[in-house]
Amino acid sequence: MATATAHLVSKEMVTPHAAVEEENLAETMCRLEMLEAQLANDYGMSGDIDSVEVFGETKARAFTQEDASSLSAMKDLYTLYQLHVLASSTKLSHSLNPEDAPTQRIDTI
């Protein structure tokens, strides 16, 4: 079943920078999260999605079965991880940038 789901994501997309250039970051992440959810379903994982568990299962299948679609899915899930890191660091840098901070008026006596 992973063969069908691996086609949701472009085969060329390996790095987060290539993905961001092709699409909006949010759209790319949404598409990859849909793949992750489909893989979790294919693997019989129920409830909340554990990204680490889904990646681990995908990686195990990619290396034991030497299956091109599993390898592609593994790369896509790694890209999703990198995009989550990129998004988090971008949010953090914006929150730490004093130019972006809201100005507050301080009354003095």
Q: Poorest-confidence range of 16-20, 27-31, 41-45?
A: 16-20
Longest dimension (CA), the chain: 74
pTM of the model: 0.64
> Are 73 and 4 spatial neighbours (Cβ–Cβ below 8 Å)?
no
- The per-residue pLDDT of the chain, averaged, comes to 76
As a whole number of angstroms, the distance between CA 98 and CA 69 comes to 45
3-state SS track over 31-66: HHHHHHHHHHHHCCCCCCCCHHHHHHHHHHHHHHHC
Check residue 47 and give its pLDDT: 84
Task: Give the pLDDT mean for 73-96.
Answer: 83
15 has pLDDT over 80: no
The full set of domain ranges for the chain reads: 2-96
Task: Give the pLDDT mean for 2-29.
Answer: 55
Q: What dihedral do alpha carbons 84, 87, 88, 94 form, nearest 10°?
A: 180
